[in-house]
Every structure is written in C-alpha cells, then in structure tokens.
Structure 1
C-alpha cells in the first residue's frame, strides 16, 4: 500500500524560504541582496537588475562591498514607509 505525503503550502514555504529577523530588529547598516529582497517582497534578481540599471527606488541605492551588493536598511525602511 502506497501512502501519499501531502504538505501544506506553509510547510513548503518554511522549508524553502530563509528565516530572516524582523526588519525592526536589524541593526547592521546594510543587508545582502537575498535578505533585502525578502523584506521588499521581490526576487533577488529584481534587486540585482535595479542595481545594474540604477533604477532602484529613491533612497535605496546599494553599496558595493567586495564585489557584492549591500542594501541600506534605512533605505529599505524608507521604501516600505516604516520608521
């Protein structure tokens, strides 16, 4: 007898999405692309495209740190309208 295992969408999401701290608890000045995308509800590749074409929202200019993008936490908060 074959038993099918079904997982809810919440279970799959918990396995596939990394757990980042709430934005209010982030104390570093910048976060990596994947984390910024999580907070902005966008895919990381979207943020990379913004950085390449310089079409990011006002106040969200990324900085390059050893060849990687760092997204300012203050800018993410500003875009989201969070104090």
Structure 2
C-alpha cells in the first residue's frame, strides 16, 4: 500500500486506478519515447521491466512511480 501513496499525481491521473499501463500510456508519463520503453524490454537493459499481457507489453504503475521518484527499482 505504501507504493500507492508515492505515485506522482500526473502518473495517477494516467493510471486511473489500474495496476499496469500500455507502452503508449507509460512512455509520456515518464517523459520517454515509446520506442525507448520497447528497447528496454527487448534488450532487457532498462531500469524497469515490463510484464506481458496477451502478448503486449505492460508497465507496472508501481515501477513507473519508483522510477519517477528516483527510488531504486
């Protein structure tokens, strides 16, 4: 529950209570291009890792919040 309290307002507005965001939603929320997130997923080189839902990349809101807050993921 602590992670919910640390979600920045802009990210919370995009997430609207969901646990994950698709790449197209997550990228602008963290000021990155969607292709950057896809590259992180493909090369497994980014600060956060996606989950796959029905073959599509989804990014955990809690991980995105930690990234925005500067916390280690």
Rounded to whole Å, the distance in 2 between the matches of 1:61 and 1:43 is 16
In the other structure, the counterpart of 1:46 is 36
Indicate conservation of the 8 Å contact 2:23/2:59, yes or no. Answer: yes
Structure 1 runs (4+) deviating above 6 angstroms are none
Rounded to whole Å, the distance in 2 between the matches of 1:22 and 1:53 is 28
Higher relative contact order (CA 8 A, sep 6+): 2
Q: How many residues align?
A: 60
Residues 18-57 of structure 1 mapped to structure 2, 5 A cutoff: 22-25=10-13, 26=15, 27-57=17-47
How far is 1:80 from its partner? 0.4
Structure 1 vs Structure 2 CA RMSD = 1.7
Unaligned runs of 5+ in 1: 1-20
Larger helix proportion of the pair: 2
Unaligned runs of 5+ in 2: 1-8
In our comparison, the structure showing a higher alpha carbon Rg is 1
Report the TM-score when normalising by structure 2. 0.74
